[in-house]
Amino acid sequence: MSIDPFSDAKIVDAWGRNAAPWTVAVRKQQIESRRLVTDQAIIEATLSRSPRSVLDLGCGEGWLAHALAALGIDVIGIDAIPALIEQARLAGGADFRVMSYEDIGAGKLDASVDAVVCNFALLGKESVAGLFGVVRSLLNPQGTFLVQTLHPVAACGDHPYQDGWRAGSWAGFSADFSDAAPWYFRTLESWVRLFPEHGLRLLELREPLHPQMQRPASVIFMAQAAD
């Protein structure tokens, strides 16, 4: 059975195929924007909330979980790609589990933490709505939901500035990558609207700047349960 090329299932399929080169790219710091800006930006944003426990959703090969655990924070890392979780476990330092976003959205994750972090990990459509629907249940009182993603204005390119599926690209990456995952583009307005639609109050919005280009390299949302 073929997979819809513009679907959440295709995202998981493509990342499964690219787990090995992705692990190399992250651990060898081959991605300039991450090396110069966005990795430190999400660490600083998370630490600003002083969490004792963190759920890293879409943790990939585990770099953020490892970084936070090294600072004495209890971390659970979740990813749908077994090969990425295997790499994360080999490095140790946190509780890493294989679980799909659909399973989490269905309430199958038993966890309660001070912060839920999604770092460039919300790429789909239905799966993202499903996660937003259960985040409140995963947070301790006064807990924080943090999302770092591509800045919509910078990432829009020549496409119309409207929500919709986009083809993926590994431009700028090594030849070891193939079959780029699609992703669902959301305008800044759409991202902001997702939070109150799911009972979350936006506390802060950060736009980390690329030090050379002086343009937003990403956007970070920080939210809490509205009640």
Q: Does domain 8-225 have CATH number 1.10.3720.10?
A: no
The model's pLDDT over 85-117, given as tens digits with 9 standing for 90+, comes to: 999 999 989 999 999 999 999 999 999 999 999
Residues in the chain: 227
Strand 219-225 versus strand 139-149 pairing type? antiparallel
Is residue 165 packed enough to be buried (19+ CB in 10 Å), middle (13-18) or exposed (0-12)? middle
Domain boundaries along the sequence of the chain: 8-225
Count other C-beta atoms under 10 Å from residue 82's C-beta: 11
Instruction: Please give the Cα distance from 34 to 26 (Å, whole number).
Output: 9
How confident is the model at residue 2, as a pLDDT?
58
Listed residue (182, 146, 152) closest to 166, CA to CA: 182
Please give the C-alpha separations between residue 30 and each of 21, 26, 33, 175, in angstroms, as whole numbers.
11, 6, 9, 13
Q: In the numeric block, which tokens belong to residue 157?
A: 């390119």
Positions in the chain whose pLDDT score sits under 50: none
pLDDT score recorded for residue 6: 85
Per-residue model confidence (pLDDT) at position 171? 87
